[in-house]
Amino acid sequence: MSSKTAASSSKTMASALRPSHQASPASVLFGQATLPPVVLASQSPRRKELLETLGFEPEVVPANVDEALFERTFSEPKALATALSQVKCRTVAKTHPNSLVIAADTVVVVDNQILGKPSSTADAERMLNLLQGRQHQVISSISVSYKGRSLTDCQTTLVTFNSLDPDTIAAYVATGEPMDKAGAYAIQGLAGAFIESVDGCYFNVVGLSLSTLRQLVGHLLSAQN
């Protein structure tokens, strides 16, 4: 075979192997031609951004659950995160039965103490003083629902903070970043500079483990086929 013929053959093969159109997120992640409409049962901008990085355009429908009631009922961190993600998912799925509903909840735990969102700047400083210079747990539960069927899974990530002096903590709290975050920090924000190590899924700390989500949605959709 001449070099010109070989080159022509190679081009033909490459053209045949090249997809005729860009693959959709659904086909890449779940082996599905299409996905049902996706609804995020959370008002967290971080979770919405994570879904958007996967190519989804989720409709945001907050569940408006009384989280304080669940915090009084469930003292075990994993049970609390699981119960909250499940009730959020069920609540929104009632009005969106034909959509893929995704709900999540994240808790930060140190010394068996659950750290929620700080109620004040002083509370944020208290939490960060508990976390600095040591390791803590971040537990995130994800629940998904579609056409009356639902699945839930929970993952734990270990995060170690650098030692922080009071002035650094006060300056960080003054930025406002900690005020709507469990544990009073955002690993994807300024607080990323305070992190010594992460043992486990990074996105679990942000609030939505993408690998766990892929597995849950994949199982849920395959069961519908």
In this prediction, residue 21 carries a pLDDT of 55
pLDDT given at position 71: 82
Measured at the CA of 182, the angle between CA 140 and CA 203, to 5 degrees, comes to 40
- Between CA 214 and CA 163, with CA 204 as vertex, the angle to 5 degrees is 160
Q: Which of 177, 169, 167 is nearest to 194 (CA)?
A: 169
Which contiguous run of DSSP H or E holds residue 149? strand 149-161
To the query of whether residue 105 is one of the catalytic residues in this protein, the response is yes
- Residue 12 has what pLDDT? 46
Question: Domain 36-224 - what CATH class?
Answer: alpha beta
Amino acid at 171: A
Q: What is the DSSP letter of 81?
A: H
Cα 187 versus chain centre, distance: 12
Burial (Cβ within 10 Å: 0-12, 13-18, ≥19) of residue 131: buried
From 66, 105, 165, 167, the catalytic residue: 105
Q: Tens-of-pLDDT digits for all 225 residues of the chain? A: 544 444 444 444 344 444 445 667 767 887 777 889 999 999 999 999 999 988 889 999 999 888 878 888 888 999 999 999 999 999 999 999 999 999 999 999 999 899 989 999 999 999 999 999 999 999 999 999 999 999 999 999 999 999 999 999 999 999 999 998 999 999 999 999 999 999 999 999 999 999 999 999 999 988 776
